[in-house]
């Protein structure tokens, strides 16, 4: 019997249908000589430090550098201990039993680095030595699965991919464990979380935020002149910027007195705008965030759903190109869109035209080619799913379309020795922009349709005024701009070719960047404010502590990602990489142990004196606040009667024994909302104190 293992039940079900394994068993499908089973993502992981004999956070334990890493089933926390996840154990035992009966194994986890790691860790846990084959596909259509099963690869072909995945896993463990413990020890109380990719990402967010808040806007003035030629009115801005209002007013007076403006130059230039490359995951996430406000994690989740619905190719790709053999399928895919109402007319217009091959390059394919739709027509989709499907389909049409041709015009003018400039643009051929009828994303502020003028023309000034403007800081990061910074390891690159070249040296991967952003949100290092990512006080405290340390260096983290890609191609030894990571971990541990926690709020969010034992300190955590004196036991949950207590509430409670009146509690008995103060009783248990009614006494409950 051949055993096929997918990454999740939904994928295994699709494969089982193709191979004829129709009988549903517990944890797998069986039939036609196959058993198709599955993981639930990562069923195995690296053991916690306690498994190596390192309990608690102790300076003398650091750095923790295991000689041999211990693999354990997925863990869940019960009280203060970690135990095997019962669900993971059940599925692991089913897989192990199936492997024991197998005469052949087919690895069908996701075709990427993490998918490889998931399978190999399970394979190792099962103690299996049977050779296995690899199903490597870029979509879940029936056609793709059948072709993949007919072209299975030896599992050994992907040994370097596994070594890269394992090296990534171990590097994140070593850096994360040592950095987090070192900073927590240096702080004296509380628990901090640092990571190889997480921390430089936080540094990007905080540095941009602080730069934005410290920016001092400079006021300047420009003249805006209105004139016309043959009844076609247009406006022009002064090329000079005036530092103060009197200078601007003096210039305005001269222009008004002159009453005329002379055309001193006309420059017309035909510009060809190349069609955009196809989407990789990061570019899709950036544009979905900018256009539709989707978080990176939401975009990835929807793209994964479209993949599992057989409507889009594998989403976790870092490539914006397709190989020549896939290009052969593009005319058919475009043809399928003739029956899709939104794109029908445009898809029809591409018939019998020469398609743009800018996105076709065999040398630039990574694990998977760029995102494409499949031959399947979408049925019922949610609004968000349809939005993303149309982004992918529309980008495919754009990428294989002709260039957008425009004529840009710049008119130079002078009045009273003051230079003005007017800019205009005329679309000659929309090309790829015709898919969504999109305009230039970066439109010049005063761009307009300009009349035909010639050098030497003298025109009447119909009006002129002073505009007061201010210089603007770089905006606070959105998920779109943060993803760009992560992709470029903090470098500001505008050129598309330069950005492509930097991909291997970015921080994180297309598959992991959304997770890093969500981790920073979960750990309350930042929060979303509309589209902006704003660091919390907690995040700023961590940033101030680590901003000059190696752990916050995005370029260095990017170099590790580049090294992992070299392991994948066989250009670098995993052992060499791990030795470098151990040296790095030792360096950052030493740095962080000497760190002083300073910054916003003097770290007050972290600890306050314990009012119960008087000797310990209460540390604030995401879900609870508790005393660090093991014998004290003072603990307050943040969640009270459907209301989340803020740091300010907790500070008042521990310092004064009472919060102010908090609005929005909900009674468990009646389901009705109420307002009350939270107070300590004589045994430091919390209760509610209600405001008295007129003439009454305060009530405690």
Summary count for the chain: helices (H), strands (E):
20, 30
Is 314 marked active-site? yes
Q: Read out DSSP for 646-679? A: PHHHHHHHHHHSB---EEEEE-TTT--EEEEEEE
Q: What are the beta bridge partners of residue 28? A: 25, 37
Cβ-proximal residues to 647 (8 Å cutoff; 6+ apart), any chain? 537, 604, 605, 620
CB-neighbour burial class of residue 277 (10 A; exposed 0-12, middle 13-18, buried 19+): buried
CB-based contact 37:3 (threshold 8 Å): yes
CB-based contact 289:299 (threshold 8 Å): yes
Strand order in the sheet with 34-38: 23-25, 28-31, 34-38, 2-6, 104-108, 132-134, 153-154
**Helical H segments across 547-700, by residue range:** 554-569, 574-593, 647-656
Q: What are the beta bridge partners of residue 3? A: 35, 105
Between CA 423 and CA 412 the distance in angstroms is: 9
CB-based contact 598:544 (threshold 8 Å): yes
Between CA 39 and CA 74 the distance in angstroms is: 11
Between CA 662 and CA 635 the distance in angstroms is: 20
Between CA 216 and CA 440 the distance in angstroms is: 30
How do the residues of the chain divide into helix, strand and coil, expressed in percent and rounded to 5? 40, 25, 35
Cβ-proximal residues to 531 (8 Å cutoff; 6+ apart), any chain? 289, 293, 478, 479
| DSSP-derived secondary structure letter, 312 | B
Q: What are the beta bridge partners of residue 270? A: 407
Coil vs helix vs strand at 17: helix
CB-based contact 144:108 (threshold 8 Å): no
| Two tokens, residue 211 | 């730069």
Between CA 65 and CA 72 the distance in angstroms is: 17
Cβ-proximal residues to 651 (8 Å cutoff; 6+ apart), any chain? 604, 608
Which residue among 121, 173, 209, 314 is the active-site one? 314
Token pair 């089913």: residue: 94
Between CA 498 and CA 681 the distance in angstroms is: 63
Between CA 279 and CA 77 the distance in angstroms is: 39
Catalytic positions, please? 314
């Amino acid at each position: 019997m051949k055993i096929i293992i997918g990454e999740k039940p939904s994928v295994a079900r699709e494969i089982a249908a193709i191979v004829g394994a129709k009988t549903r068993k517990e944890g797998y499908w069986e039939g036609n000589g196959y058993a198709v089973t599955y993981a639930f993502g990562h069923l195995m992981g690296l053991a916690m430090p306690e498994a190596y004999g390192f309990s608690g956070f102790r300076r003398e334990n650091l750095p923790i550098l295991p000689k041999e890493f211990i693999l354990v089933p997925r863990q869940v926390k019960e009280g203060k201990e970690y135990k095997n996840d019962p669900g993971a154990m059940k599925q692991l035992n089913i897989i192990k039993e199936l492997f024991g009966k197998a005469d052949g194994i087919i690895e069908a986890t996701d075709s990427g680095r993490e998918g490889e790691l998931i399978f190999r860790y399970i394979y190792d846990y099962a103690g299996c030595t049977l050779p296995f084959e690899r199903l490597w596909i870029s979509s879940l259509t029936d056609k793709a699965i059948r072709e993949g099963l007919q072209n299975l690869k030896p599992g050994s072909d992907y040994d370097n991919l596994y070594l890269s995945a394992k090296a990534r896993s171990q590097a994140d463990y070593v850096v994360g464990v040592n950095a987090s413990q070192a900073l927590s020890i240096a702080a004296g109380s509380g628990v901090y979380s640092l990571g190889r990719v997480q921390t430089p990402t936080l540094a990007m967010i905080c540095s941009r935020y602080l730069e934005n808040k410290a920016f001092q806007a400079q006021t300047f003035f420009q003249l805006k002149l209105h004139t016309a030629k043959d009844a076609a009115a247009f406006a022009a801005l002064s090329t000079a910027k005036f530092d103060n209002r009197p200078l601007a007013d003096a210039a305005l007076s001269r222009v008004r007195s002159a009453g005329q403006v002379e055309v001193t130059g006309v420059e017309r230039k035909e510009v060809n705008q190349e069609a955009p490359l196809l989407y990789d995951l990061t570019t899709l996430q950036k544009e979905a965030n900018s256009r539709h406000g989707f978080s990176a994690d939401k975009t990835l989740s929807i793209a994964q759903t479209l993949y599992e619905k057989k409507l889009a190719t594998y989403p976790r790709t870092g490539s914006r190109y397709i190989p020549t053999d896939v290009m052969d399928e593009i005319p058919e895919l475009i043809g399928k869109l003739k029956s899709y109402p939104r794109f029908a007319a445009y898809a029809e217009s591409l018939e019998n035209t020469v398609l743009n091959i800018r996105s076709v390059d065999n040398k630039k394919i990574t694990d998977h080619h760029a995102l494409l739709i499949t031959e399947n027509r979408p049925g019922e989709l949610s609004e968000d799913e349809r939005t993303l499907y149309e982004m992918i389909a529309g980008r495919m049409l754009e990428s294989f379309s002709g260039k957008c041709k425009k004529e840009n015009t710049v008119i130079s003018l002078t009045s009273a020795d003051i230079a003005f400039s007017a800019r205009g643009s005329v679309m000659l051929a929309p090309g790829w922009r015709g898919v969504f009828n999109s305009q230039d994303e970066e439109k010049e502020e005063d761009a307009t349709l300009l009349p035909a003028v010639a050098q030497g023309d003298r025109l009447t000034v119909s009006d002129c005024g002073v505009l007061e403007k201010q210089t603007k800081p770089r905006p606070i990061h959105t998920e779109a701009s943060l993803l760009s910074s992560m992709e470029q390891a903090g470098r500001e690159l505008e050129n598309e070719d330069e950005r492509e070249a930097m991909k291997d040296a970015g921080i994180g991967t297309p598959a992991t960047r959304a997770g890093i952003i969500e981790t920073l949100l979960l750990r309350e290092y930042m929060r979303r404010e509309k589209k902006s990512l704003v660091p919390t006080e907690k995040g700023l405290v961590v940033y101030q502590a680590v901003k000059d340390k190696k752990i916050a260096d995005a370029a260095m983290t990017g170099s590790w990602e580049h090294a992992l890609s070299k392991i994948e191609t066989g250009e670098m030894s995993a052992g060499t990489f791990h030795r470098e990571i151990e040296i790095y971990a030792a360096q950052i541990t030493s740095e962080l142990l000497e760190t002083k926690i300073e910054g916003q709020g003097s770290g007050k969010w972290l600890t306050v004196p314990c009012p119960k034992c008087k000797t310990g300190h209460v540390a604030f955590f995401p879900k609870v606040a508790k005393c660090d004196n093991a014998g004290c036991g003072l603990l307050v949950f943040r969640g009270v009667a459907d209301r989340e207590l803020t740091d300010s509430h907790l500070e008042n409670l521990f310092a004064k024994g009472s919060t102010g009146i908090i609005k929005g509690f909900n009674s468990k008995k009646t389901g009705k909302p109420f307002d009350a103060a939270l107070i300590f009783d004589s045994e430091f248990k919390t209760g509610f104190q209600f405001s008295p009614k007129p003439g009454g006494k305060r009530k405690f409950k």
